[in-house]
């Protein structure tokens, strides 16, 4: 199945490399996170023109609580100030903000900032920007499964709705098309596990604080050149015998 340039894309970004960016410059790791927040703004600005309608950013995993308390506190502060500062900007640009993940372990001030941002930007239709905070893909799947009644029939799209619901996302959020991880690391780290069944994966060397609109454009262009077959055979393969052999 070829990629349609008109279809709105759901892109997931694993923003990795903040610490290494800072350490390479003799700066504290937290400085890398601050510069990472600037890169978030660039990515959000570039996304709509590239045909991205849902952008999910991995800002803080459920396992990131294992980091030193000072670093956790800086990250939480950056999230709060991003939500407060960007709320009006997002509203004006038609960006709807949402947070996926647990909220019960976040500070009341951060939860208030999330709710205010969700409320202020709720009408946005140009881009759905989801920040994954205290997020675990496995936990979302477990919670969705636990919510099923014993006799309930649930197909894949029904279960996707359940997974989204379990992590506080909009019920109609689609499967993810493309996951980009920066900094050369090649793993999913518990990010969008159910939603990424047929996602294209892209691992790029750029460290997150250096990521910009041009990087996102290159990634989306490379994605559009890939052929997604969803377990089928190539539609451009001119040799029916080969297709039959593969399909058989």
- What SS3 state is found at 131? strand
Q: Smallest gap, in angstroms, from Cβ of residue 216 to ligand FPP?
A: 14
Among 18, 30, 121, 164, binds ligand FPP (CB under 6 A): 18
218 CB-side CA count, 13 A: 10
Q: Smallest gap, in angstroms, from Cβ of residue 61 to ligand FPP?
A: 7
When the beta carbons of 82 and 223 are compared against ligand FPP, the nearer one is: 82
Q: How many CB atoms lie within 10 A of CB 74?
A: 18
Total length of the chain: 248
User: Cα(240)–Cα(232) distance, rounded to whole angstroms?
Assistant: 13
Among 11, 13, 55, 57, binds ligand FPP (CB under 6 A): 57
Q: Does 90 engage in binding with ligand FPP (CB under 6 A)? A: no
Q: How many CB atoms lie within 10 A of CB 26?
A: 7
- Helix, strand, coil % over all residues of the chain, rounded to 5: 45, 15, 40
When the beta carbons of 36 and 124 are compared against ligand FPP, the nearer one is: 36
Spot the catalytic one: 18, 38, 63, 64. Answer: 64
Among 9, 62, 79, 113, binds ligand FPP (CB under 6 A): 79
Q: Does 12 engage in binding with ligand FPP (CB under 6 A)? A: no
Q: Does 16 engage in binding with ligand FPP (CB under 6 A)? A: yes
User: Cα(233)–Cα(244) distance, rounded to whole angstroms?
Assistant: 9
Q: Does 64 engage in binding with ligand FPP (CB under 6 A)? A: yes
């Amino acid at each position: 199945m070829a990629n349609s340039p008109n279809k709105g894309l759901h892109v997931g970004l694993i923003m990795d490399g903040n610490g290494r960016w800072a350490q390479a410059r003799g700066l504290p790791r937290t400085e890398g996170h601050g510069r990472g927040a600037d890169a978030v703004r660039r990515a959000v600005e570039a996304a709509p023109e590239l045909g991205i309608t849902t952008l999910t950013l991995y800002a803080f995993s459920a396992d990131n609580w294992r980091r030193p308390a000072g670093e956790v506190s800086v990250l939480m502060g950056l999230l709060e100030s991003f939500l407060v500062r960007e709320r009006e900007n997002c509203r004006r640009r038609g960006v709807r903000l949402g947070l996926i993940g647990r909220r019960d372990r976040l500070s009341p001030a951060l939860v208030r900032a999330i709710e205010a941002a969700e409320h202020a930007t709720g009408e946005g239709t140009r881009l759905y920007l989801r920040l994954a905070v205290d997020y675990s893909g496995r936990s979302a799947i477990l919670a969705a499964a636990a919510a099923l009644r014993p006799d309930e029939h649930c197909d894949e799209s029904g279960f996707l709705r359940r997974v989204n619901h379990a992590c506080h996302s909009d019920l109609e959020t689609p499967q993810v098309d493309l996951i980009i991880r920066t900094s050369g690391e090649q793993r999913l780290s518990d990010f969008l596990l159910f939603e990424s069944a047929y996602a294209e994966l892209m691992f790029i060397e750029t460290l997150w604080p250096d990521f910009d609109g041009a990087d996102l454009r290159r990634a989306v262009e490379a994605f559009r050149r890939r052929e997604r077959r969803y377990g089928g055979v190539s539609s451009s393969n001119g040799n029916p015998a080969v297709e039959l052999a593969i399909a058989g």
